[in-house]
Amino acid sequence: MKLLVTGGAGYVGSVCTAHLLAAGHTVTVLDDLSTGHADAVPEGAELVKGDLAEASDELLADGFDGVLHFAARSLVGESVAHPERYWTGNVVATLRLLEAIRRHGTPRLVFSSTAATYGQPEQVPIREDAPTLPTNPYGASKLAIDHMISSYAAAHGLAAVSLRYFNVAGAHGRFGERHAVETHLIPLVLQVAAGKREAVQIYGDDWPTPDGTCVRDYIHVDDLAAAHLLALEKAAAGAHAVYNLGSGAGFSVREVIDACRTVTGHPIPAVAAPRREGDPAVLIASSDAAMAELGWRPERTEITTIVGDAWRFTQEHSAS
């Protein structure tokens, strides 16, 4: 297929682009490089540096089989302090993309949604029919986009799939997590092992969990990418399917730090810090629907495998 990947210079977008190219697809990446990196775009993909809202119309006029939409702002704290950036950068920009898709009759869309659309869960594992009550503008903006996509699928025949990611981690070859402002647990812990940080902070050790620290469902970025390829194949005209994607197992912050100690051989000092606002105690995905309907199976579910790939990437990236 001839595909447009928005945000293909970012972490998940670049790994998905690599998988799409390996599967024989033709990929154009649209990225404004505000948080992405031009050198993260895999060889074989064409990079168009441009604004999502401005550039997608002209690009899609060329005739594409589908769009994979990753470009987004994704920092929870920033979304609370500057919600306008999320309503404009995520919702308004995606509306412009959807309008371009409609105008040019692009048949398929796979959207990068998030577990943040659910907010504090009443039950875990979280299924797709759980209430969607996001606790911050980031999650709200992604949920608003999911609603827009549903209406476009119903009214205009778009074949659409939203994939709600839980905690994405790991790396694929030379493609991994390179955020200017790093907030995610695994890269921060590995920065300590790499000597770039003194210690890791544990945001709360008095949560109602077995060891008192928050539990999350970590999914390897390669497993996540595989789900996007399946979603692209299975998307049905006029329907908007929504799938949660996680490994289905929870690991506490302490267990993640321990896995990082095992993988790196570094003692990784950890200090208790106050809880981070808006953090739910436990987030675990039910990926049953993705398994049943997409035929998806996560293959890299061991936390040491996920951390091991992230560590290899961190070391290679620190060296360059």
Task: Give the active site residues.
Answer: 138
Query: What part of residues 89-128 is at the interface with ligand UDP (CB under 6 A)?
Result: none
Residue 134 amino acid letter: P
Q: Number of residues interacting with ligand UDP: please give it, by CB under 6 A.
A: 14
Residue from 51, 65, 279, 293 in contact with ligand UDP (CB under 6 A): 279
Residue from 25, 216, 240, 254 in contact with ligand UDP (CB under 6 A): 216
* Nearer residue to ligand UDP within complex by CB, 79 or 106: 79
* Nearer residue to ligand UDP within complex by CB, 82 or 184: 184
Q: Is 80 in the site for ligand UDP (CB under 6 A)?
A: no
How near is the Cβ of 214 to ligand UDP at its closest, in Å?
Answer: 3
How near is the Cβ of 237 to ligand UDP at its closest, in Å?
Answer: 33
How near is the Cβ of 71 to ligand UDP at its closest, in Å?
Answer: 19
How near is the Cβ of 186 to ligand UDP at its closest, in Å?
Answer: 7
* Nearer residue to ligand UDP within complex by CB, 45 or 310: 310
Ranked by CB distance to ligand UDP, the top (closest) residue is 214
Q: CA end-to-end span of the chain, whole Å?
A: 34
Contact status, residue 221 vs residue 168, Cβ threshold 8 Å:
yes
Query: What part of residues 157-176 is at the interface with ligand UDP (CB under 6 A)?
Result: 167
Residue from 2, 147, 276, 297 in contact with ligand UDP (CB under 6 A): 276
| Distance from C-alpha of 48 to C-alpha of 272, rounded to nearest angstrom | 44
Contact status, residue 240 vs residue 281, Cβ threshold 8 Å:
no
- How far is C-alpha 197 from the geometric centre of its chain's CA atoms? 25
* Nearer residue to ligand UDP within complex by CB, 216 or 240: 216
| Distance from C-alpha of 49 to C-alpha of 32, rounded to nearest angstrom | 5
* Nearer residue to ligand UDP within complex by CB, 45 or 116: 116
How near is the Cβ of 256 to ligand UDP at its closest, in Å?
Answer: 7
Query: What part of residues 227-256 is at the interface with ligand UDP (CB under 6 A)?
Result: 253
* Nearer residue to ligand UDP within complex by CB, 190 or 202: 202
Query: What part of residues 176-215 is at the interface with ligand UDP (CB under 6 A)?
Result: 183-185, 188, 200-203, 214
- How far is C-alpha 73 from the geometric centre of its chain's CA atoms? 11
Q: Which residues here bind ligand UDP, judged by CB under 6 A?
A: 167, 183-185, 188, 200-203, 214, 216, 253, 276, 279
